[in-house]
Amino acid sequence: MGGLKFAKQVPQTDANCILKDFAEHYVDKEKLRKYGLMWNSFARKPKCISMEEIRDIPIPPEDRVFFYDERDKTLYAAKMEEVVTYILKLEPWDQVDACVFNREMKWVLAVTHEDALLFLEENAK
């Protein structure tokens, strides 16, 4: 993905383990078989947030996070601040389907081609 020049691609063997853990935390396997995208197959209902609210998520900007591009099946590592800047610069015609999450799997932010941002915390009901 051209806009992720700031990010480092995670090696595939590591990415497979990280994504398996992510799926166990957040994804309903039956929904995933039906819908094909992890963000559209969350086991619990996420909160839809606006672009402005992305800055209100209580994640330190210097924290390292994962950015999983579901379209090209690539996992990147980057600073949250860089990811937020990238997301805020997206144009309506940019086709992005991605999940952003931290190593501890405490939260996930989904960026969708439907111009929606979905946020889900591990302990949220």
65-115 pLDDT per residue, tens: 999 999 999 999 999 888 888 888 888 788 889 999 999 999 999 998 887
Query: Tens digits of per-residue pLDDT, 4-37?
Result: 777 899 999 999 999 999 999 999 999 999 999 9
Give the structural domain span for 48: 6-54+62-121
Specify if 71 maps to a domain: yes
Tell me if 66 is assigned to some domain. Answer: yes
Q: Is residue 115 part of a domain?
A: yes
**Does any domain span residue 1?**
no
Q: Give yes or no for a contact between 25 and 105, defined as CB atoms under 8 angstroms apart.
A: yes
Dihedrals phi, psi of 54, to nearest 5 degrees:
-60, -35
Answer for the pair 11, 76: CB distance below 8 angstroms, yes or no: no
Bridge partners of residue 9, in order along the sequence:
76
Q: Over the stretch 33-52, which tens digit does the pLDDT of each residue have?
A: 999 999 999 999 999 998 88
Residue 4: predicted pLDDT: 74
Structural domain count of the chain: 1
Does residue 93 fall inside a structural domain? yes
Are the beta carbons of 123 and 113 closer than 8 angstroms?
A: no
39 lies in a domain? Answer: yes
